[in-house]
Every structure is written in structure tokens, then in C-alpha cells.
Amino acid sequence: MTDEDRHNTQQIDRVARMMAGRAIALRSKARAAATLTAPKATTQARRIVDKIMPGVVATVESRLSHDLASDTPLVITEITFPVHHPRAHELGQALGTLTGVQNVAPGVGRRTVVRKR
């Protein structure tokens, strides 16, 4: 094999690796855009809490779940805040505007948001 043939083979291999890498990157981005993760749900809920109840100490936690009856993957986000906060109702309404929300369950000092993944 001559030096020129070796060089051409290396270029072909490099281009093939680059194209394969781009295809993988495109597939992974498309998949990530369609799936709601627990950290993403937590971040979205935290932003709403900070906007509706600025300066209030609140906990926001999300976890993955699954509805066996409808075979649907879910993300459940629980927001805990001071009891009888005057803007609790507004918080529930704002959380209901998130995409994929199936239910916003009220509670005393707590809201639980169930969303489709």
C-alpha cells in the first residue's frame, strides 16, 4: 500500500466516524427533547415557585413513576411550602399550566403535580 492509498483510507475512515458521530448526536437530541426527566421537572417547578412565592423557603422534589392502569410513564413532583401561604392557590394554577400535567393535587402546605413523561 502506497502512502497516498494509506492517506486516502485514513480520510475515508475519519469522514465515516464523523458522519456516524453526527447521526448519534441527532438521534440522542431528538430522544431527549421528547422525554421529561425528574431533574427537568424539578427545575421547571422550582422556577414557578420562585416566581409565585419569591423568598419563601419551599422544597421541590421529583421522582419517576408509572401508572399501571394506563401503562403510562409519569413524573411526580411534590412542592412543600409554609402552611396557609396566601398565594398557594395561585401556585396550584401556575403548576397546572406545565406541559403534560394530568393532575395537581392540593394539600395543606403542599402541591403534588403528576405529569406524563
Q: Where are the domains of the chain?
A: 1-34, 38-116
The tens digit of pLDDT for each residue in 18-64 reads: 777 766 665 655 555 558 999 999 999 999 999 999 999 999 999 99
Q: Which of 10-19, 58-67, 86-95, 108-117 has the lowest mean pLDDT?
A: 10-19
Nearest to 45 by CA among 11, 3, 23, 75: 75
Architecture of domain 38-116: 2-Layer Sandwich (3.30)
The tens digit of pLDDT for each residue in 72-81 reads: 999 999 999 9
DSSP 36-98: --HHHHHHHHHHHHHHHSTT---EEEEEEEEETTTTEEEEEEEEE--TT-TTHHHHHHHHTTS
The tens digit of pLDDT for each residue in 89-103 reads: 999 999 999 999 999
Q: Tell me if the pTM is above 0.85.
A: no
